[in-house]
Structure 1
Amino acid sequence: MIARLELEVGFSAAHRVDSPRASCAGLLHGHNFRVRVAFEGQIDPVSGTVVDAPRAEALLRELVFAPFDHGVLNDLIENPTLERVAAHIFGALATVLPVAELSLEDGAGRRAVVKPSAP
């Protein structure tokens, strides 16, 4: 059996997207973002969990909340579209946690979802 644990963290940040497809192209503006990270796997017979949740929560605070909250995403990510920010966060977390899926919502009805590439 495969189990899934999802954790969520929010942050507020500004960004400017340089894309003619963006409704707010070229304008610095802010969002209240929500990141949801999913972990999947066998339930550990000793701990009863899929992942060490306190460690995962601490890493979410360290790698997502701390660098992004009340910042300007353009200072960290080139042309920070929703998809690029989601991929950036996924990449940072996937180096230290077994991330199965990550979604990033911008508070304006849009959500980007990223998953690991097929092997």
Structure 2
Amino acid sequence: MILVKKFSFEAAHNLTRYLGKCERLHGHTYRLVVKIEGPLNEEEMVMDFAELKKIVEELVISKLDHSYLNDMFDQPTTERVAIWIWDQLSKEMEKRGVRLHEIELWETETSGVVYRGEKV
């Protein structure tokens, strides 16, 4: 079974190795969708939504929300930020007996990435 939880955060960035309007400082309201998979536990859940929320907020949202992403990433594309989020969450999920299935990171309503942990 796959459990899904949505989050959002605000962040600014500029793409330093890009020619176009995104090379200038700008911000987004990012939408993050975290999907985990695993068997039902003794409470008939993959994981408690409150527990998942606490983990994601502590490991990801608290670090990214209202930040300047260039302070954390050399080239803060949505793709690079998604890989970082995956790295923050995947081992923590394994410790809890579930697997991070997929994340979606949307920088606008119509533009985002899906990442499943593959090497890029």
User: TM-score, with normalisation over the residues of structure 1?
Assistant: 0.86
Mapped partners of 2:21, 2:87: distance in 1: 26
| Percentage of pairs with the same residue | 30
Q: Which has the higher helix share?
A: 2
CA 1:40 to 1:18, structure 2 compared with 1: closer, same or farther past 3 Å? Answer: same
Unmatched 5+ stretches in structure 2: 94-98
Matched, 1:96 2:97: no
Unmatched 5+ stretches in structure 1: none
Partner of 2:4: 6
CA RMSD of aligned residues (A): 1.7
Mapped partners of 1:30, 1:79: distance in 2: 15
Matched, 1:109 2:105: no
Conserved? CA contact 2:83–2:117, under 8 Å? no
Q: Equivalences for 1:23-42 in 2 at 5 Å?
A: 23-42=20-39
What is the total number of aligned residue pairs between the two structures? 114
What CA deviation, in whole Å up to 9, does each residue of 1:20-63 have, x standing for no partner? 3x64342110000010000112222x111112432211011112
Conserved? CA contact 1:19–1:25, under 8 Å? no
User: TM-score, with normalisation over the residues of structure 2?
Assistant: 0.86
29-38 vs 67-76, which deviates more?
67-76
Matched, 1:68 2:64: yes
